[in-house]
Amino acid sequence: MKTFVVRKQYFWLVVLMLFGLTLFFLGARENKRTIDAVEVLKGKPLVKVDEEAAKENLVSKKDEGLKQDFFIDYRLERDRNRDRQLDLLREIINNSNTSQEARQKAQERVMLISQRMEKEMEIENLLRARGYRDAVAVIQDDGVTVVVKTAVLKPGEQEQIQDLVIKVTGGDKAKVTVLARE
């Protein structure tokens, strides 16, 4: 009976040690996320949409015989990237190990992303209301990119689109890129 009790104690000791190791590794992983998040909050972009890579990727998919719509795919990729950004920021905000300063910066970044999403939707809807079949807008720290569904922009259209973007965002005209895509 005594050996049974001793074995039972060893069993629970091993279980507790495994549980402790698991918590240790999870904690170390969580601390790494916090460090990464702090680096992100220092002004480095979380995820940046690479317009050229996205275009090349979509073109190659079309070449493979897949019927893809550039504007739908571009919006989906933009939304996936934003969701990843927001998830990371929510982790920072909800992490009890996060400093108050980092939490505040994360909350500000969430607000900025929300405002940008709202402005992008407004730009896209205004362009559709102006007669373009489709449009996609991406607002980033370094400027705004707008792609409209048309074969060619007529003289003056690029400037009109830039003016519309400036009205919505309040940005600089030099930082607004307008592209045509059929």
Number of domains in the chain: 1
Looking up tokens 């940046």, which residue turns up? 48
Mean pLDDT of 57-82: 72
pTM value surpassing 0.75 = no
Amino acid at position 148, single letter: V
Query: pLDDT tens for residues 115-132?
Result: 999 999 999 999 999 999
Domain containing residue 148:
46-181
Q: Chain centroid to CA 97: how far? A: 23
Q: Is residue 72 part of a domain?
A: yes
Q: Is residue 2 part of a domain?
A: no
Q: Is residue 87 part of a domain?
A: yes
Q: Is residue 154 part of a domain?
A: yes
Q: What is the CATH number of the domain that holds 50?
A: 1.10.287.4300
pLDDT band at 69 (very low <50, low <70, confident <90, very high): confident
Q: Are 137 and 123 in contact (CB under 8 A)?
A: yes
The highest-confidence range among 8-17, 21-30, 140-149, by mean pLDDT, is 140-149
Among 60-74, 116-130, 132-146, 161-175, the range scoring the smallest mean pLDDT is 60-74
Q: Is residue 12 part of a domain?
A: no
